[in-house]
Structures are given as structure tokens and as C-alpha cells.
Amino acid sequence: MTKFINLHTHTFSNLSDVIEVVNQYPWEFDASIPSYSIGIHPWYIYENRLETDLKIIKQKLQLDECLALGECGLDKRIEIPLDLQISVFKQQLELVKETQKPIVLHCVAAYDEVIAIKKEMKMENPMIIHGFSKNEKVAQSLLKNGFYLSFGKYLLRNPDLEKVFTFAPENQILLETDTIEESIYQVYEKAASIKGISVDEMKAIVFTNFSKIFS
């Protein structure tokens, strides 16, 4: 049976028909969660525990239940200096480079920087922009540079995003709930209706992409 994929959530719901990539932070790790991503979010960079956090991430990335690095990335709308964010981001990318595992990215107003870092570091690991909410131009630039786009909250909230989702290539999209109240089933229903296909077809598309990215 093809399962629903929830590419990024902060809540483990333990649904039998859903594979969830639950977001974990090194400083509050929950070993009971069966599949997760782990990373240092740019909002939560604390230099006094950075070394410990990176050590935990390195260790977890070796485990099968750790599916991805993240969420990590860059955010230009916060107080934390961008050069520090870039340094922490790159240190995490160095760790994941030793694996085949993908990266779940948090990116706010720093798409050019993220694309540049991907090129500079010659990243082969799949890179996924989670919670994509931008326009067609930004989407085109990311897709052209080999990023995957994960849609959720803004697909339900912002009608302008429907146009972007309509043209996004089927082999570069994923779906998620992040922190919203709505279920992953509601996200799939919305996504399927925008693409003009059935929920089962949507499931098959996302499952295929997930299988390829998380091989």
C-alpha cells in the first residue's frame, strides 16, 4: 500500500498509513520517534552549545531512523547575524555530505545564498525547501538548481500559491503539515484538487519522489 508522506512535521501522530519525517532538535531529542530529521534551525543557534549540537547531529545521521538533516538553513528576518547562520549551516552540510541523506531547508529571504552554498559546496545530497510559499520566479530558480519544493501550510492559506503548485514539475514536489492544525490528508486533498487529479494519484507522485530522495 502506498502511504501518505508527511515530509516535515513537528508532531508525531503515529498514523499507520502515513510516513512522517518528524522534526527533532539535538537539545531535546526524543528517542521514541521512529523516523525523523535532525538539525539546528537558524532561530535556535546558541554558540555555547553549538559543538554539542553538531556532535549529536553527526551521531544521529549515522542511524537508519534518522532520515534527513534539518530543518536547517538561513533566515534574513531574524536577529541572529547572517554570517553566523551561514557558518552553522555549512558545518551541518559538511556532516550530511558524508551520507546520502537529504536536507530539509528553512529558508526566508535567502534563496540566492542557499543556491550559492549548494554550488560552492558541490552538494550532491537532495535539498528540499520546506513550506514553500514564494512566487513562480523563485520557484523556477530553485527547481532549475535541482531543489525539491515541499508544500503545506501556504497551499491551504494562500490562493496565489496554487499557480506555482500547478506548474511545479511532478518529480520535484512533496507535501507536509509543519505546525498547522490541518491533517496531512487535507493537504493531499487540496494538492490533488489544484493539480486536477485524484488523491491516490497525488499519493503515488509524492511517494515516488520520497522513495527516490530518501533511497
Mean pLDDT, residues 42-53: 98
Domains present along the chain, CATH in parentheses: 4-213 (3.20.20.140)
The total number of residues shown for the chain amounts to: 215
What residues pair up with 127 in beta bridges, in sequence order?
A: 103
Helix (H, G, I), strand (E, B), or coil: what is residue 56?
helix
What pLDDT was estimated at residue 215? Answer: 86
How far is Cα 64 from Cα 73, in angstroms, rounded to an integer? 23
pLDDT tier, 55 (very low <50, low <70, confident <90, very high otherwise): very high
- Per the listing, cell 527533532 goes with 24
The yes-or-no verdict on residue 120 having pLDDT over 90 is yes
Contact 188, 202 (CB under 8 A): yes
pLDDT of residue 1: 82
The single residue listed with the C-alpha cell 519522489 is 209
Model pLDDT, residue 37:
98
* Arithmetic mean of pLDDT, 189-200: 98
Beta bridge partners of 75: 108
DSSP of 80-126, one letter per residue? S-HHHHHHHHHHHHHHHHTS---EEEEEES-HHHHHHHHHHTT--S-
Torsion, Cα 213 183 30 23, to 10 degrees, reads 40
Q: Using alpha carbons only, what angle is made at residue 101 by residues 95 and 106, rounded to the nearest 5 degrees?
A: 80
Average pLDDT, the chain: 97
Quick check: 19 and 32 in contact, CB under 8 A?
A: no
108 — pLDDT class (breaks 50, 70, 90): very high
69: closest CA among 101, 106, 111, 97?
101
- Evaluate the omega torsion of the peptide bond into residue 201 and state whether it is cis, within 30 degrees of 0: no
What tens digit of pLDDT does each residue of 3-36 get?
999 999 999 999 999 999 999 999 999 999 999 9
